[in-house]
Amino acid sequence: MVRMFKSALVTTALVLAGALPAAAQQGLVEVPINNSFSVNELNWDSALGKVEFAWAVLDIRGVTYVCGASSASTSFAHRKTKTVFRKGWVKVGNTKVLKDLSYFTRAPRNTDLGTVKARCKPLPGKAGAANDFLLGFDPVRVRL
């Protein structure tokens, strides 16, 4: 089953002085999570836990970025977060414009996402000119 979540482009002015130097070299920046972010969760089951994540599509200094952070409720869910987010994608219309969301900040277990900085990656080319974005995940198989 493919999971999908919808967002609209949000224009915001953010101070990027706190961005990590190594991340900046890769085109990544970090921003505080605010009310522009959508908060969703992915559930394994009641025993294996869940992953809460916040994400947004933001216009930062004229460039469109997809930003996100996650926090898991159990050690199993925390260990599998990167595997799951590698299968994540963002679509504009019927086209996947960004694949592999494993760059999202992975906060310690049970962290309040409002206290975390989200890591952001720019969208390629003209993909950021759209108004509606769809975030989803392809099916993932993991070993228990």
pLDDT tens, position by position, 53-88: 999 999 988 888 999 999 999 998 888 889 899 999
H helices of the chain, in order, are 21-25, 75-86
> What mean pLDDT value characterizes the chain?
82
Between 140 and 82, name the one with better pLDDT: 82
Per-residue pLDDT, 124: 84
- Model confidence pLDDT, tens digit, residues 23-61: 444 578 999 999 999 999 998 777 889 999 999 999 988
User: 116: how many CB neighbours lie within 10 A of its CB?
Assistant: 19
CA distance 30 to 7: 19
pTM for this structure? 0.79
DSSP helix, strand, coil percent of the chain (3-state; round to 5): 15, 45, 35
Q: Which has the closest alpha carbon to 32: 20, 21, 18?
A: 18
Q: Is 143 exposed, middle or buried (0-12, 13-18, 19+ CB in 10 A)?
A: exposed
Structure tokens at 97: 């414009």
> Any residues with CB less than 8 A from the CB of 113 and at least 6 apart, and which?
33, 37, 39, 52, 53, 54, 69, 70, 71, 107
